[in-house]
Amino acid sequence: MPEAATSPTAERALLEVRDLRVTFHTRRGAVEAVNGLSFEVASGEVLGIVGESGSGKSMAMYSMMGLIADPNAEVTGSARFESTELIGLRPKELNRFRGSQIAMIFQDPMTALTPVYTVGWQIVEMIRAHEQVGRRAAWDRAVELLQEVGIPDAARRARSYPHEFSGGMRQRAMIAMSLACNPRLLIADEPTTALDVTTQRQILDLIRRLQGSYGSSVIMITHDMGVISDIADRVIVMYAGRAVEVGEKQATVGAARHPYTWGLLGAIPRPHTRKTVLPTIPGLTPNPHAMPSGCVFRTRCAWAMDECTQTPPLLATGSDLGHLDACWLPGEERDELRKATLR
Ligand code: SF4
């Protein structure tokens, strides 16, 4: 049964994804990296997608953008950007959207930027690939963008190569490049993972500020619930290719209902508590070739019971009808269990 993650944003959605599936056909059998994911992103909204490595969050984004090069990958379902269906578009048709309408900020700017061209040159190429504009005007715009993302002495630094920038500056340059054509949707794939906490804070503030001034929608992909608490309006928690909890940030962070989300929240460092050992989620994400039947989290869940061998549907189990989770635990016990877990 496809999992539904409908929300009040559906009617004004910029992006509407339905039953998205990414399957890799391997010698050892089919592996479902994304399994029936459905969600929407409204205009001007920041949607956070959170989960461990291998949860399928990046794969879902790459599949929409036609960035999965593996010939054994099969992508099905629907991803409508405004009135255009992205799934099944040819690369040439997708190029009309990439960069100009939907831009991505990648995790590692050192590999996303080309080492043999200056940062300014790369932004100019991005602008000229999508707009009829002369090289001089595009260069001036590139310098303006670098200034806007906080690169000091931008006119001079535009002539620097990526290796001459620090990690934080490279990520700022990537953000400048992604904003070059004023995209409607910005997909940020773990943009702060490789950065120290101070730079991480600055980059998140920058994305939030630019999202406000450019009016873009943002999908923020991260494994860090702390980042989600900072920046997201709405949240999808993913585990082993599926959405296990969906809702407004206040609900998913402040009143989480799924044991996996409790595990992620429990792993946020809290300097003012007396705990000396940071809690972790026991075990590992399941082998994609040997997914457990029923609830995919049951091999790591402290509350697993007989019913959990059946797949729980994603639905509202409390009074907030926009707050969905996929778990068989009785709805009325969740608050008590959450409080006891996150004490
Ligand atoms: Fe745990 Fe069962 Fe809920 Fe899955 S359905 S999260 S195994 S209690």
Does residue 216 lie in a domain region? no
Q: Which domain holds residue 132?
A: 109-182
Does residue 119 lie in a domain region? yes
Distance 247 CA to ligand 1 centre (A): 18
Confidence of residue 250 (pLDDT cuts 50, 70, 90): very high
Domains contained in the chain, number: 1
User: Quick check: CB of 120 below 6 Å from ligand 1?
Assistant: no
Its pTM stands at: 0.90
* Nearest atom in ligand 1 to 312's CA: 5
Does residue 175 lie in a domain region? yes
In angstroms, the CA 128 to CA 286 distance is 45
Confidence of residue 312 (pLDDT cuts 50, 70, 90): very high
Residue 7 has pLDDT above 80, yes or no: no
In this prediction, residue 214 carries a pLDDT of 82
Is 161 or 8 the better-scoring residue by pLDDT?
161
Mean pLDDT calculated for residue range 24-33: 94
In this prediction, residue 181 carries a pLDDT of 85
User: Quick check: CB of 240 below 6 Å from ligand 1?
Assistant: no
Taking a C-beta distance cutoff of 8 angstroms, is the pair 160, 119 a contact? yes
**How do residues 205-239 score in pLDDT, each as one tens digit?**
888 888 888 888 999 999 989 889 889 999 999 99
Residue 2 has pLDDT above 70, yes or no: no
| Average pLDDT over the chain, rounded to an integer | 90
The two structure tokens encoding residue 272: 């003012």
Distance 298 CA to ligand 1 centre (A): 5
Does residue 233 lie in a domain region? no
User: Quick check: CB of 327 below 6 Å from ligand 1?
Assistant: yes
Does residue 194 lie in a domain region? no
In angstroms, the CA 141 to CA 120 distance is 9
User: Quick check: CB of 281 below 6 Å from ligand 1?
Assistant: no
Say how many residues make up the chain.
Answer: 343
User: Quick check: CB of 334 below 6 Å from ligand 1?
Assistant: no
Highest mean pLDDT among 188-197, 261-270, 288-297: 288-297
Q: Name beta bridge partners: 245.
A: 237, 325
Does residue 2 lie in a domain region? no
Does residue 289 lie in a domain region? no
Taking a C-beta distance cutoff of 8 angstroms, is the pair 227, 301 a contact? no
Does residue 116 lie in a domain region? yes
User: Quick check: CB of 246 below 6 Å from ligand 1?
Assistant: no
